[in-house]
Amino acid sequence: MSSHPSHRPERDTEKTLLRTTGQVARLPVGRGAERRVVNLAADLREEGSQLADVEVADLSTDGFMMRCPLDLAPGALVWLKLSGQAPMKAEIVWAQDGRAGCRFTTPLYPAILDQIIAGQAKPGVRRLFTPPEPQSGQGRNAA
């Protein structure tokens, strides 16, 4: 058994509840790694091209799915840059209707995936109703 911090022992996924700081989505059987639903702004660069703004919609140690304005072809190599992370090289597996699925050429360590999820911006609490504050001179104790 390994003592490396990213080591996770085998577990029966039917009987285990998963605890995470991000949302977890179980996608169809046949996927290599569990994907987490995210909403991350990122930069993407095809080798020899300019940067493009993309939105990463799900992420795993093996790859990601993104919404992208580029016309990408399966087999193309790209670099994904997430805030606070080094650029990560990936291969386009499929692309259709402004979305693309990519596989990292070197899988992420689970600890790095957890760090990315933990750094995801949390939506702020927004008050829809704020009671009016009493105006000066109109309170009960006004003279």
Instruction: Count other Cβ atoms within 10 Å, centred on residue 60.
Output: 21
What is the average pLDDT score of the chain?
76
Could you read off the pLDDT of 81-100 as tens digits, one per residue? 998 899 999 999 999 999 99
Q: What is the pTM of this model?
A: 0.62
As a whole number of angstroms, the distance between CA 43 and CA 1 comes to 38
φ, ψ of residue 118 to 5 degrees: the values are -65, -30
Could you read off the pLDDT of 50-67 as tens digits, one per residue? 889 999 999 999 999 999
Please report the pLDDT score of residue 35 as a whole number.
83
Distances (CA, A) of 4 to 9, 10, 52: 11, 14, 36
CB-CB contact of 110 with 61 (8 Å): yes
